Amino acid sequence: MKRYLPFAIIAAVLVAALTAGALIYQSERAEQLEASKTPIPTPSFDPKEERYNSRGIVTIEEFGDYQCPPCGNAHPILKSIKQEFGDRVRFIFHHFPLIQLHQHAYLASQAAVAAGFQGRFWEMHDLIYQNQAYWSKASDVTPIFIGYARQLGLDTNRFINDLAGAQANAIIVSDIQRGQSFGVKGTPTVFIDGREIPFDDLMKIDNLRNEIKKRLN
């Protein structure tokens, strides 16, 4: 009997180990199943819906850099076109920060996207461009953009969290990749219904009007 005792002890240990392992597995599996029932948090609005006006007829796509001076010059012209044609134009802004040239451009895009998560993309977009000459010279622009968020009545704590969050970065990277696939190398680059508009024509509002009217007819 004694000679079988070690085997009995080993068997008992194995049974205990297998039982413990089964319990741990069941516990982890239950946690996984419970987690699968919990919906993944999403923004309060779809950033693409904010930037894409699906009711439009003519589509204008801009690849822009918020710290780029020519983009700042083109902004009031494009904004005027958007206001003039309203729902007949679908205006899409793609982030294309030239980080090698403009140290604050990427953070400016993050600020616009973060504001977009609270439904104020275009308002932040306009504020950033309108004040480009001011914040572009600052050594630290984060407090400035937080001030803009506060000015727009945003939840600043959420804005700060979203500023460098994974969702904001994913949107910006996606826009950069889209621009690269279109062969975009500089900003502003603007397409009307897929046709790239030369910069000289972009800066002449009458040329833009005529191009849009021609496509609306």
> Would you tell me how many other CB atoms lie within 10 Å of the CB of residue 102?
19
What is the domain-level CATH number for residue 203?
A: 3.40.30.10
pTM of the model: 0.74
Per-residue pLDDT tens digits of the chain, which is 217 residues long: 434 333 343 344 333 433 433 333 333 333 333 333 323 223 323 334 344 433 458 999 999 999 999 999 999 999 999 999 998 999 999 999 999 999 999 999 999 999 999 999 999 999 999 999 999 999 999 999 999 999 999 999 999 999 989 999 999 999 999 999 999 999 999 999 999 999 999 999 999 999 999 888 7
Question: Do 14 and 80 fall into the same domain?
Answer: no
Q: What is the pLDDT of residue 51?
A: 46
Clarify whether residues 55 and 110 are in a common domain: yes
Contact 71, 190 (CB under 8 A): no
Tell me which residue range forms the domain holding 25: 2-37
CB atoms within 10 A of CB 210: 12
